Structures are given as structure tokens and as C-alpha cells.
Amino acid sequence: MNSVDVSNELHQLLSGNNVQTQLSVPQLVEKVLSRNEGVLTSTGAVKAETGKYTGRSPKDKYIVDEASVKDKVDWGSVNQPISEEVFNKLYNKVVDYLKAKEEIFVFKGFAGADETSRLPIQVVNEYAWHNLFAHTLFIRPNEEELRGHESEFTILSAPNFKADPEVDGTQSETFIIVSFERRTILIGGTEYAGEMKKSIFSIMNYLLPEAGILPMHCSANVGREGDVALFFGLSGTGKTTLSADTNRKLIGDDEHGWSSNGVFNIEGGCYAKTINLSREKEPQIFDAIRFGAVLENVVVDPETREANYDDSSLTENTRAAYQMQAIDNIVNPSIAGHPNTIIFLTADASGVLPPISKLSKEQAMFHFLSGYTSKLAGTERGVTSPEATFSTCFGSPFLPLPATRYAEMLGDKIDEHSAKVYLVNTGWTGGAYGTGSRMKLAYTRAMVQAALEGELANIETIKDDIFGLDIPLHVPGVPDEVLQPIKTWADPAAYKQTATALAAQFRANFKKFGNVPSEIEELGGPTA
């Protein structure tokens, strides 16, 4: 099957009588309820469950090994190759499966708020609630844009179609396969809606660098003076909490591009974790969960229809998807200028990284490539004590190209726009997890605010002798002794032993980047 055959098959699928295209939010909600795919909560949000898959399936994610991408993709455990033959056979099966459904649902929209670089996409779904999710997470076209819409990438999502590994050449019943030549993403065997969101992000991570645009797994906001800030960080580091600032407008909470024009949101909505969510802690997210929003795997009282965000009986990974417009304090459209400040967030459970430090360009590239944080007990099966984890560029599962390509682009952007970069530790102080305590949120907010307002640009610093980091000696609203981790530990010798061990983990992890300029490793990393 060649690309023309694929186009013909898709055309036949989308011209069928069972196709429901571009339904409105009320229409989709009605479909969800009439098909018993979910329930309506007391706030008007749709609640659905994803069955046994309550998160992504990274081991079932593939890229088709095609001539045009063979020498570009960073093949390995993240970007697993699969043959064109396997893709073609599964494609035919999925198309035939969807053709036989009584109804399928199609959303047409965009990835990327910047009209000069956005990607027209279409999402074909077996489930109405999945189509509502796509309607919520991606950028909706206006009437004029819809009339001229020509999709350049298509998602075919068939959760109830399960692969037979022995026949279909997959590792399990689940598959998420990207074909860049066929401009198609096949998803089957999983009901977890986040696979659609992250698949589009993955292809943007391939396509945008070709256009000279840096794709980024980060949140972004803008101040009253137009100053732009980026927040990079893995789960549990405070990315969403710290970027949601009443004094700054949100550009987006998860996926962005940095072009010659500035920063833009790749998405049209937010996909927030909701475990232990409350209006007191995160009012913007709490109040955004209203009609048209989608709740995944959140326990809902059958009588009152109220969501219980503290109940993790289905999963810890409960989620809410909602449109950006559900938040009052946003930039609309989601476009802003070049970043003035870049914040790398880490939650260091060993308690040895400074709560804030200034980074040179070389250090920024080192810590960007490292993507360090601590994985806490209970976050994954088998994790019984905190573990150091390194996720390249703070988003390794979604990077088709070699990591150094993204780091080099970031370094060039930092140079070109004189962006200030800071490493902020939202983790432990006064000792490791179990002995010390979590850094006070008020202190972290004060440090971030000082960084954003330029108060740390010329402040006196001291060089950390293990990690080589420049630590500010004073930050408004933060006790001086908190700024230097060794001063918060009761036993300085224990601090040095723990810090030296973490520094060794950084160096060991960095060895996997074989083609990094020596100055990045020598000037950016911990000392030997």
C-alpha cells in the first residue's frame, strides 16, 4: 500500500454514512450520554473511564521505519521502529473496523496557535467522548478556517480494536504507530485519551525543528509588561502550580513552540492532573471543570454526581481536559514574545540541590539534557523509595529526534534573546526525603517572583563546590540560610556524601549523550 492507497482508504472511510463530523460540544455531550460512554457531573463535565489502561503505554509506541525518516529518528526504546508492512496491515484492519461502526466521530482543527506554522489535523474516533477530548485539547477552527481546512495529519483511534501480537507484529494488543510518510497515527487497544494528545506533540517535535522552531514540553505565562517566562519540569515539580499566577496571563500549561516570532501554545486546552484537587489549592483548574470539560477516571458519586478528587481507587492519574477559554487569566490567542526568563523545576528528594541557582548557557543545556527530578514512592508500581529519574529535555517519551538537536536549539535561543535561566528545586530541604521537609511553597513563589522580576540578574552569588551552581546569597522573602542546602543540614558531612552521590548520578546519566560539545559537560555539569 502506498500513500495514495492510504489516502483513498481514508477518503472512503470519511465519506461513509456513519460519519459525524465537527459536532458541537452540546451535540458531543449528548452523544456521550446517549451511548452510555460517560456520565454528567454536577458541574456539567463529562466523566468517562479508560478501563485497564489509565496512562500511556510507552512500550507499545512505534514509528514506521520509512526511507524519509530512517536517518533522522533517534531509534531506541523510546522510538521503536516498526515495518511498513505491519503498519499497512493494521491500517487496513482499523479502517475496516471503523467503517463497520454504526457511528464514528471526526474533529478537524489545528496544532499550534501561530498561524504561520500550525499543523492542520483531523481526529477520527470510535468514541464520542474521545472526540470531545480532541475538541477540547486541540485548537478549534472558526467557520472560515473550517471551510478551507485540509488536514495534513490524521489520527485514527479505535480503542476496542485489539491487535493480535502473533499475527500483527506488535508487542501487545495495544499500539500507537506514527507514519510520517502516510501522515497518519494509528491508535488501538487503549481507551486512554492522552495517547492522542501526546502523539500529536510527538509529531510536532519532529516537524517543528525542520522549520527552525524549538518544540518544548513546558508551561508558559506572560507578565503585565509583556515579559515571557517558561517553566520546564516533570510530574510533581510544581510546573502547573507555579505557572498559574494571578499576576501573569497563562499562555499554556504543557506544550509550546519557540519560533523567530516568539512563543506559541501548541494546544487549545489543558490536561491537568486532578488527584487531591481543591478550589483552595488550584482555583483556576477547579473552576475550569464545567460543561464541555472531560474528567478521566475520577470517582463520581452516583447520587449527587459530585466528583471526589481525593479518591484514587481507579488510578492516581486522574485527569481533567478543558478548553483554555475556561480560564479567565489567559493570553488569547496563545501567542507571546520571546522568553525573558526560563525556569527549570526539579523536586530533589535527596535535599542537596539549591532551592534556586543561576545557570550559564552551558549549565542550562546540561540540565535541559539531564531533565532531573526524583520519582517518589507510590507514583509507579514497584517504586518504594525516592529514585533519581532523568527525562531528557523534560520530555524524553515524545522526542523523535536526537536530544542534542533540541538542546542546541535551546542554547542558540538563549544566546539570541539573552534569556536568564534558573534551576529551582521544589523538593526537600534540611535533609533527604524522610528526614528533611518539603520546600515551603511561599519560599519557592518568592524565588520565582524575584527571578521573573529581574531581581536576581545582578545579585551576589556563591559557587556550589559540588554541582558548580551559582547560588544567590539573598532573595527577598526567603531566609538566607535556606538558600544554601549545606546550612540547612544538621550533619554537613552527610550532606556532602549525599550531594556527591547525586552528582555522580548526573555524570553517569550524561554519558549517554556521546556527541555533546565538551564545554557543555565540563562547564555545565557537576564537578568530579
Which of the following is catalytic: 47, 130, 140, 239?
A: 239
Which of the following is catalytic: 41, 47, 50, 56?
A: 56
Residue carrying C-alpha cell 479567565: 328
Which of the following is catalytic: 61, 198, 249, 256?
A: 198
Query: Is position 480 annotated in a ligand binding site?
Result: no
Active site residue 217: yes
Which of the following is catalytic: 114, 245, 254, 348?
A: 254
Number of DSSP helices (H) and strands (E) in the chain, helices first = 16, 30
Query: Is position 234 annotated in a ligand binding site?
Result: yes
State the angle between helix axes of 194-210 and 128-137 in degrees (0 to 180), rounded to the nearest 10. 40
Which of the following is catalytic: 319, 361, 367, 420?
A: 319
Which of the following is catalytic: 61, 197, 217, 420?
A: 217
- Residue 77: is it exposed, middle or buried by C-beta count within 10 angstroms (0-12/13-18/19+)? exposed
Active site residue 240: yes
**Helix, strand, coil % over all residues of the chain, rounded to 5:** 30, 25, 45
Which of the following is catalytic: 136, 240, 318, 396?
A: 240
Query: Is position 525 annotated in a ligand binding site?
Result: no
**What letter represents residue 310's amino acid?**
D
CA distances to 248, 253, 440 from 244, rounded to whole Å, are: 8, 8, 17
Evaluate whether 290 touches 42 at the Cβ level (below 8 Å): no
Query: Is position 65 annotated in a ligand binding site?
Result: no
Residue 97 dihedral angles phi and psi, to the nearest 5°: -60, -45
Query: Is position 52 annotated in a ligand binding site?
Result: no
Active site residue 290: no
Query: Is position 254 annotated in a ligand binding site?
Result: yes
Q: Which three cell numbers stand for residue 47?
A: 466523566
Active site residue 70: no
Q: Which three cell numbers stand for residue 470?
A: 551559582
Query: Is position 169 annotated in a ligand binding site?
Result: no
Round to whole Å and give the CA distance between 492 and 494: 5
The secondary structure of 213-277 as a DSSP string is: -EEEEEEEEE-TTS-EEEEEE-TTSSHHHHH--TTSEEEESSEEEEETTEEEES-SEEEEE-TT-
Instruction: Name 256's bridge partners.
Output: 216, 265
Which of the following is catalytic: 43, 172, 235, 461?
A: 235
Query: Is position 192 annotated in a ligand binding site?
Result: yes
Query: Is position 189 annotated in a ligand binding site?
Result: no
Query: Is position 240 annotated in a ligand binding site?
Result: yes
Active site residue 118: no
Rg of the chain in Å (alpha carbons): 23
Q: Which three cell numbers stand for residue 182?
A: 502516510
Query: Is position 233 annotated in a ligand binding site?
Result: yes
Active site residue 245: no
Query: Is position 238 annotated in a ligand binding site?
Result: yes
Query: Is position 241 annotated in a ligand binding site?
Result: yes
- Per the annotation, binding residues are 56, 192, 198, 217, 233-241, 254, 282, 319, 444
- Per the annotation, binding residues for ATP are 198, 217, 233-241, 282, 319, 444
- Per the annotation, binding residues for substrate are 56, 192, 198, 319
Return the active site residues: 56, 198, 217, 235, 239-240, 254, 319
- Per the annotation, binding residues for Mn(2+) are 198, 217, 254
